[in-house]
Each structure stands twice: as structure tokens, then as C-alpha cells.
A and B are shown apart, each in its own frame.
Chain A
Amino acid sequence: MSGTTHQTTEDNSLSGELLMHTHVESMRCYQCGKCSAGCPMALDMEYPPSVVMRMLQTGDPELEDKLLRSYAIWVCVTCETCFARCPMEIDIPKVMDYLREKSLKMGISSPKAKHIIAFHRAFLDMIDKTGRMYELGLTVDYKMRSMTLGQDVGLAPGMMSRGKLGLFPEMIRDKKHIAGIFSKTIKRKEGGQ
């Protein structure tokens, strides 16, 4: 750990990869800890943001693997507080996005995050099919995937009586266009899930 701040894009560490794809230099972090102090989700993370940055800096493949398998990257809500307060203006939310996508592609995402990921997938599948988010359909789909059938069912009547829950999805006209966007992006990369 020489503490070097020189890094090139030829570097084949995860931080080098990040630099190449997102232009975020994790090496600039000097561990002040402001990001972790202000992070609303740090309590739930096994590695708070400043530790994530330190793990990246080491270039140690074992730590990088731990990071990609971590729960921390999924529980980050992208509130952007860390980035707003970072004295080195490091775009940590962008790092988190990159790590999540990579973790998913490698198929090593944290089992503890399965509900969070199930919700995201249910959300995107809904858009893929209809072009828009539809709350009732999304909730049912998520519950099937996460097997949390009992949770929140008490909300449905209240939402219904307040006119907040439609019975049918609202679809856009050019559904094919949206499906095309999905097949050229997330479905292409995930091999057509």
C-alpha cells in the first residue's frame, strides 16, 4: 500500500476498470470519511462508502470480489449525499451503479439483496411490457418473485379508495419501441433473461 495516486486506464484492477468506464478516480479518495458519516444507509452496510473506496484502492482481487458480492452496493439508495459532500468530488453513486451492474452480470450479487433486486427486476419487466410503471401489477409481480405475499396487502384497499390504484395498466402506443430498447440494452447483456 504505497498510497500512490497515479493510475492509468491500462490498470486491470477494478478501480482501473472504473476509471476507464466511468471516469471516476477512486484513487483520489483520502479517506476523510465524510461520505460514510452522511450516508443514510451506512447502518445497513457491511462496507460503508469510504470503505468501498478503500477496498477499490488496494487493487486486491480478493477485496474486489468481496465488494461485488456485498450487500452494501445494493442497499445504497443513490441519494447522492456522499457525492455532494466529498471534498474530492468523487462520484461515488456512479461507482455504486457500476458495481451493481457488474455484480449482476457476473451472477455474484448478494443473496441478502434478493428482495431489492427482485423489486428492480419486476419494475423493469413492467416497463418492458407496457412502457410505463403500473403499481398494482408491479406489486403483484414483486410479491410473486420475493415470496413476501403478506406484506403490504393492507395498503391496497386504502390506495384503492383514495383512487391511487388503477385496476388496469396504462400502456403506451409504441410498445414495440420500448421492447426494442430493452432487447438492445439489458436483455442483450444478460443474454435474454
Chain B
Amino acid sequence: MKLGFYPGCSMKGGSREYKESVAAVCKAFDIELVEVPDWNCCGATAAHNLNKELALSLPARILAQAEKAGLSEILIPCAACYNRLSVTQHELNENDKLKERVKSILGMDYQGTSSIINIIQMIDKYVLPNLDGKVVKSFNHLAACYYGCLLVRPHGILKFDRPEDPVTMDNVIRKIGGSPVEWAYKVECCGAGLSVSKTEAVARLSGKIVEDAADRGSQVIVVACPMCHLNLDMRRPESNKYLKRNIDIPVIYITQAIGIALGMSGKELGLQRHFVPVILKEKPEEPAPVKPAKKVVQTQEMEA
């Protein structure tokens, strides 16, 4: 089958391994990704911080280009792009005057009828139903599924999963043989676009996320956003410095986790491109004594 595809800028550069693993997984399930012709940047954080009309027009051009190419369903693996395009579509559908204004800025027709799906929705819809017999190497690891902000908020617009305690990624991990951990930082912010302009804030926020994952015994953090990955992986030296700890839990994309379970090589999935080396420890046979997370009282029953 064919599926519209908006890679976004990160996947061409800093997170090319995300694109590599998305492509590898899609190929394994006979999904042909058709790129939106001559796509542009969605404007990311910068556009909506400085100018509303620009922040709506850039994503609207992408959607208009997709419509022109007859792509009715578009996969957007980057959580930030997924968010910007979904919010734009919603705002323009709610406000005819604004829609006309944006159409005149674009000088293009725009309907706003495309169906936008994020990576987990794609996996849910096209990968999981066809997973039987394909998992050759159980993903036998304790995994902290990290959703971040932009996949689940604003919930009223995205209507995806639950805004405070989402579970869809945890389900995917379970289906490939993994064990999702219960933890408190699933949807906490990593510091996002402040990575370069206010790195100390990112060190603090990402540090707390990584620390909670570590304290709950996680062996891997699984993400679905290039920005989150960058902050949890590339900014690890800064966050470790903030924590005064040396946490070496690798951070991988959900599509890399699936690829590993399908028996794909590390190179095929781009695992060598991460800053924190991807060394996955097997889940211990017996539940290891887990250091209690801060302020959580551990009962005796858990030990029994």
C-alpha cells in the first residue's frame, strides 16, 4: 500500500536514523512511503513564537502540496511536525476567515481534508495487525516509553491517546516482547527548542526524565520525536552533569525497537548514529531490586 509521508527537516539531518528505521519498518510491511512533493519546513517552534500567520501558512503549504498530489493520508513521524500540521489544520477548519487569509498568502487551493497520522498511529494501524510471525528476536528489555509533549497535547485537537498517562507506545513495546516500566515522566517536557539557546534548562528537564527512567530500572528509553531524542541522547553529558550521575541508558526510536525485534541489523536501523551507545541489556530473570524513585514509598509486597 501507499502512504503519504512528510519527513520534516530533522529526518534529513540530526535524526536521519529515525528516517532510516521508519523506512526499514515500512518496507518490511509493504508500505510504500510517498513523500509530499517539494515539502518545506513546518516552521517548528520559531514560527509560532514570532508570527501566527507564518506559523499557519508554512504547514498549510505542506498540506496543500499533499492534496495536490492526491495524498489523503500522511504519516508524520516527527512529533513536532505532527503537532504543527494538526494544529494548523484544526485552526483553519474552525475559522473560515483565517482559512481564506492563509489561502491568499499561499496562492494555492487548500481544503484541509488530509488525514494526518503520527508514527504510533501508523504502527497501530498498519504494523501491529500484520506482526504475527515477524518477530524473530523478542525485545526483551525493560523500556521507559517517553511520549513527550507534542504527541499528546493539546488533546482537544490531536485526540490521540491520553494526555497524562498515554499507553499506545507501551502496547507496541509489549507486542514485540518488551516490558514497559511504570514511570512518572512519560509526558514531561524535555526542554524542546531551547536546546541551543538555553541549554541549562534542557539539562535540568531532560536530566529529570532520564533519572526517573533509570531509577525505575529501565534498560532503554523509547521515543517518537527527533527533538526529544536529541535532548535525551546528545544532551546526556549536560544532563548527567546536572544530575551529578553517570546514566548510560540508551535512547532509541520506537521504529528502531520494532526493527530490532524484526531481526534487522543495527546499521540498517542507524543505531550507530546515537551519542549514548546502544547497548541493550536483557531483562533480568527475576525482578531486580529497583531503587525506589524519589518520594515513592515501596511496600514489602513488591519484594515478595
User: Within 8 Å of chain A (Cβ to Cβ): is B182?
Assistant: no
Write out, one digit per residue, whether chain A residues 135-160 have a CB within 8 A of any chain B CB (1) or not (0). 10001001000100001100100110
Report which of B38, B105, B205 forms a contact with A184, defined as CB distance below 8 A.
Answer: B105
Instruction: Given A40-B205, A119-B197, A181-B61, decide whether A77 and B191 contact each other with a Cβ distance below 8 A.
Output: yes
Report which of B153, B199, B234 forms a contact with A81, defined as CB distance below 8 A.
Answer: B153
User: Within 8 Å of chain B (Cβ to Cβ): is A79?
Assistant: yes
Write out, one digit per residue, whether chain B residues 230-263 have a CB within 8 A of any chain A CB (1) or not (0). 0000100000000000000000000000000000
- Asked whether, in the complex, the Cβ of B41 is within 8 Å of the Cβ of A127, the reply is yes
User: Within 8 Å of chain A (Cβ to Cβ): is B40?
Assistant: yes
A91 CA / B49 CA spacing, docked (Å): 15
A131 CA / B65 CA spacing, docked (Å): 14
- List residues of chain A with CB within 8 A of the CB of B9: 132-134
- Asked whether, in the complex, the Cβ of B57 is within 8 Å of the Cβ of A185, the reply is yes
Q: How many residues of A contact B (CB 8 A)?
A: 61
A79 CA / B194 CA spacing, docked (Å): 12
| CB-nearest residue of chain A to B273 | A162
- List residues of chain B with CB within 8 A of the CB of A189: 51, 53
- Interface majority SS on A: helix, strand, loop or mixed? helix
Instruction: Given A132-B40, A173-B38, A181-B105, decide whether A166 and B153 contact each other with a Cβ distance below 8 A.
Output: no
Report which of A146, A162, A178 forms a contact with B40, defined as CB distance below 8 A.
Answer: A178
| CB-nearest residue of chain B to A98 | B52
| CB-nearest residue of chain A to B37 | A173
- Asked whether, in the complex, the Cβ of B164 is within 8 Å of the Cβ of A165, the reply is no
User: Within 8 Å of chain A (Cβ to Cβ): is B294?
Assistant: no
- Asked whether, in the complex, the Cβ of A142 is within 8 Å of the Cβ of B50, the reply is no
Write out, one digit per residue, whether chain B residues 205-237 have a CB within 8 A of any chain A CB (1) or not (0). 100000000000000000000000000001000
Instruction: Given A97-B49, A119-B197, A181-B61, decide whether A131 and B12 contact each other with a Cβ distance below 8 A.
Output: no
153-186 of chain A: CB within 8 A of chain B: 155, 158-159, 162-166, 170, 172-174, 177-178, 180-182, 184-186
Write out, one digit per residue, whether chain B residues 149-164 have a CB within 8 A of any chain A CB (1) or not (0). 1100111100000011
| CB-nearest residue of chain B to A116 | B197
- Asked whether, in the complex, the Cβ of A127 is within 8 Å of the Cβ of B43, the reply is yes
Write out, one digit per residue, whether chain A residues 74-114 have a CB within 8 A of any chain B CB (1) or not (0). 11011111011000010101000110110010000000000
Best-buried of B14, B45, B51, B150 by chain A (most CB within 10 Å): B51
A132 CB to closest chain B CB, in angstroms? 5
- List residues of chain B with CB within 8 A of the CB of A139: 196
Report which of B10, B40, B50, B149 forms a contact with A120, defined as CB distance below 8 A.
Answer: B50
- List residues of chain B with CB within 8 A of the CB of A146: 197
Report which of B41, B153, B196, B275 forms a contact with A132, defined as CB distance below 8 A.
Answer: B41
User: Within 8 Å of chain A (Cβ to Cβ): is B193?
Assistant: yes
- Asked whether, in the complex, the Cβ of B50 is within 8 Å of the Cβ of A104, the reply is yes
A184 CA / B65 CA spacing, docked (Å): 19
- Asked whether, in the complex, the Cβ of B41 is within 8 Å of the Cβ of A131, the reply is yes
Instruction: Given A79-B149, A116-B197, A133-B41, decide whether A164 and B13 contact each other with a Cβ distance below 8 A.
Output: yes
B2 CB to closest chain A CB, in angstroms? 22
- List residues of chain A with CB within 8 A of the CB of B53: 184-186, 189
A51 CA / B187 CA spacing, docked (Å): 24
A93 CA / B14 CA spacing, docked (Å): 27
Instruction: Given A133-B9, A164-B273, A186-B54, decide whether A120 and B192 contact each other with a Cβ distance below 8 A.
Output: no
- 24 A-B residue pairs with Cβ-Cβ distance under 8 Å, sorted by A, are A41-B201, A44-B201, A75-B194, A77-B191, A77-B192, A81-B187, A81-B189, A84-B154, A84-B155, A93-B154, A101-B49, A116-B198, A118-B197, A119-B193, A133-B9, A133-B44, A158-B275, A164-B13, A166-B12, A173-B38, A177-B107, A181-B54, A184-B105, A186-B50
Closest 10 CB pairs of A and B: A80-B153, A79-B189, A133-B9, A123-B46, A120-B46, A119-B197, A185-B54, A186-B51, A79-B149, A185-B53
